[in-house]
Structure 1
Amino acid sequence: MGQILVLICSILLPPLDVLLKHGLDRDFWINLILTLIFFVPGVIHAIYVNFLR
């Protein structure tokens, strides 16, 4: 159940999800920039950071 909530948050608010999981580190700033440039790369990066790494 918890993984589903993380996935939903990764899709709706990628920078917030990365911030809650990893804090204000390099991954958050990369995700914020990707999300501001275009939303889909931010979502992909959030899923990668939270599930695959």
Structure 2
Amino acid sequence: MRAIDGVVSVNNPDDKPHLTLVEYRPDKVDSKTLLEQVKTEGVHAKLVGL
């Protein structure tokens, strides 16, 4: 995901290894695009908002 233009950081917290936190610039990429990119890799993923 780090290779996607607009992604600032990707983090997997030690206490929640099933969770991936992605910080991104919404002026460069949107959450739907990021989700679809992950799904093309065969990974089960959902968007979770704050």
Tell me whether the two structures share a fold, i.e. TM-score over 0.5. no
**Structure ID, larger Rg:** 2
Structure with greater helix percent:
1
TM-score by length of structure 2 reads 0.29
